[in-house]
A and B are shown apart, each in its own frame.
Chain A
């Protein structure tokens, strides 16, 4: 620096020193891992997004039939103009977008109320039976998101749209009105009853970490209970609520299953269902415009949301010590509320599963009499009268192959995601404060705001053809793994970061000073100390991948059929009982997997998997 002898050294030596310093920086393990992650995310997220956008602004071969003088491969705004203006714009874009927004906002609000209230009851009151209620509360999340939609259909479908009656009509003798059977109302209710678990998990974690002294301080100053809740507790859990809002909103925006089951019959299209429909009907360039619109909408809403409540995020560091919270006394309301919660849990867990199960035992759909009961849909032989000639699900090789695929996919994805989580967590936490670390963290967040169905579209756009050294992956199992891993990157980064934060940097530095190599440090210090985080990530990914539909519905082919997509296909064919039998199988596998992984996971949990 100020040493004159050194600053006079020749340029070549300076260059040599500079390149040595650069090499030293480059070969530090944190930088290497960060760069690997950057490349990976670039290939898995950025290039597909670019490819998606590019398809919408490029003339395709197919466009020649509509615009004869189109230059194939040339730039154009044709697709955008077509999809955003006139009658086509209204039918394909604006109406579905409006529907998506309606459903997403409605479901988010309803989920917030249910999840928030349940979290408060479980964490902060003296309601009896809180422990078991706490455990049951996350069950709906384990079930596929469209389970409730299917059950709704069994209960409320009417003959107005053709087909068989539901239990309601069978018992009451009166067909339920269309608005109750199909469309936004049931979609909102079914989505909310699935996604309230996010709010429940986030808010209860936040409530648990709030020192009740903060509330007691308000109490001592003579504030009423309502005032304390509003002025002290609520602002403190606001960041958690915000996280829940973002998560639920994007999930519902991109969700396919529910709207496909409950909306399409009455032509209530959301962007997700329209996107799938139009991929078959119209040109890709057109359909992808929809995907981009969906992504932009999700991003805008989220950033608006964050702008509004943004600065409050700093509260997130509060506590984490597990205070002994002062429980609110509910008094006489105690048992009333407990009963309400139990009824609620029966309504969202037991009844839907019961309905689905009963449905699978009905030979002829819509006839709920005992004489109609059969095991045909489970173990019946091939019969052209039922299920388009497919045998009962337990005798059906298609189901076994789909179940195998599903489990394989879930395990591959869970494993890769968990590994990525450790690497991302390490790269981000060890580089805290550097630009590289921020870049990695921000890139890892991107898939979060891309709704599932759009993510699938992104991957069709990119991998339908050969791409450099990568062969066309469309139709392969590998593509399903890649897209599932890519979509889970934000979760793995979150859980990885929180797991890595638990490992104080001195613990690794003590290893460095003792002369341990990178591999020795990872194997003997970092891995053992992050096992529970690792396993939690594994568990969460396993469950979500097992029952993921929106993400893969555009990407599965007959040879890569999964349980989730198989149920949807049966539903669309009108083989409701067969579909419901597959859902039951799917739920059984998820619950068994949850149990087995939970057994071996040493404190791994869904909560930790979500980065809490």
Chain B
């Protein structure tokens, strides 16, 4: 069960709207790749193109060595022949079939024997911990249970590739956490190449081998969660990933090692850029102190938001506002004076004009 998916220059238009703009990416065997982006970024369209439910307007798709779609060669392999499983956002369980029929539908098409089908139903229900639910109709189960059945239905016909379109977005927060763990486990056991669509950056960070961030039909960055989080390729990715949001400070390069933010300067090593730039600082990378510290800048605490395991502090200095995240319940009170210190190693510098990363500590 190891298949590479290669997408080359894929383009898809809906009328005048360009849903996918020349997207190329390679999905390595056995990886869990997440397509991440805000709604309308083209992530679902990309998934549907791979599944064969949408005909692109340009480009090629390979599954393994097999060319399943090529605009320029006029090749389109029907969805049913691509050996993929798809889990839909709203589960798409057939409401008029019981659970076992839902699961055996594809197996009957594959003309499996009765015994084999029975075994597959049992095994796949066991895999999603839903043993004994064979005789239920979809409407007789909760959303979370339906979700598991939808997964079981896909697992039962053992596709080479798993495709999942926001499968957890209709579940409540608690259930979503549980299912994330289950899904990750499932991928770990089966090793099937998986493409997973989500708009939830936490989901992407927690589950993926690699994250593909998309915006307006264009692939912004494809890399491991670690790299995408710590070295976002551009301002969009930096801004989209992370909670609380990254701090983005407008500034002007004022020397080889210094960026002028306005009220203060930030030291960054080896700047090879000039003019207007944006400095990005993750909220957890700012050191906060209630007393003056050498090299720190004095701010005042505008708002303090403790949330149990950590606290978020909004600090202000003139026009500059920073979000800081500290562990535990913070002792800082609103309107306290605080001193913030930036670690040069954790800063990224972006060109203001293009939004692209110019200096990183990588």
Contact = CB atoms under 8 A, between A and B. Distances in A.
B229 interface: no
A514 B80 contact: yes
Interface in B84-102: 84-86, 88-90, 92, 94-96
A521 to B, nearest CB: 10
B15 A513 contact: no
A514 B150 CA distance: 12
B55 interface: yes
A18 B70 CA distance: 11
A32 to B, nearest CB: 14
- Which interface class (under 10, 10 to 19, 20 to 34, 35 or more) fits B? 35 or more
Interface in B58-92: 58-59, 70-76, 78-81, 84-86, 88-90, 92
Given A1-B22, A529-B96, A515 B81 contact: yes
A507 B94 contact: yes
Contact of B109 (A1, A16, A507, A515): A515
A506 B167 CA distance: 13
A509 interface: yes
Nearest to A507: B92
Contacts of B85: 513
A509 B86 contact: yes
B105 interface: yes
A516 interface: yes
Contacts of B76: 21, 24
Nearest to B159: A513
B53 A513 contact: yes
Contacts of A520: 109
Contacts of B110: 515
A440 to B, nearest CB: 18
A121 to B, nearest CB: 34
B180 interface: no
A13 B76 CA distance: 16
B51 interface: yes
Q: Is the interface of A mostly helix, strand, loop or mixed?
A: helix
Contacts of A433: 14-15
Contacts, number: 93
Given A433-B15, A514-B105, A3 B9 contact: yes
B87 to A, nearest CB: 9
A19 B74 contact: yes
Given A17-B74, A515-B110, A2 B92 contact: no
B157 A514 contact: yes
Nearest to B163: A513
B333 interface: no
A529 B59 CA distance: 36
A513 B51 contact: yes
A20 B74 CA distance: 5
A21 B157 contact: no
A553 to B, nearest CB: 43
A17 B51 contact: no
B8 interface: yes
A513 B109 contact: no
B95 A529 contact: yes
B86 A17 contact: no
A21 B105 contact: no
* B59, B70, B92 interface centre (most CB from chain A within 10 Å): B92
Interface in A6-44: 6, 9, 13-14, 16-21, 23-25
4 closest cross-chain pairs (CB), A and B = A20-B74, A515-B80, A514-B106, A506-B92
28 contacts: A6-B72, A9-B72, A16-B74, A17-B70, A17-B74, A19-B74, A21-B71, A433-B14, A433-B15, A504-B90, A506-B90, A507-B92, A507-B95, A509-B79, A509-B86, A509-B92, A510-B88, A511-B94, A512-B53, A512-B79, A513-B52, A513-B53, A515-B81, A515-B106, A520-B109, A524-B105, A529-B95, A529-B96
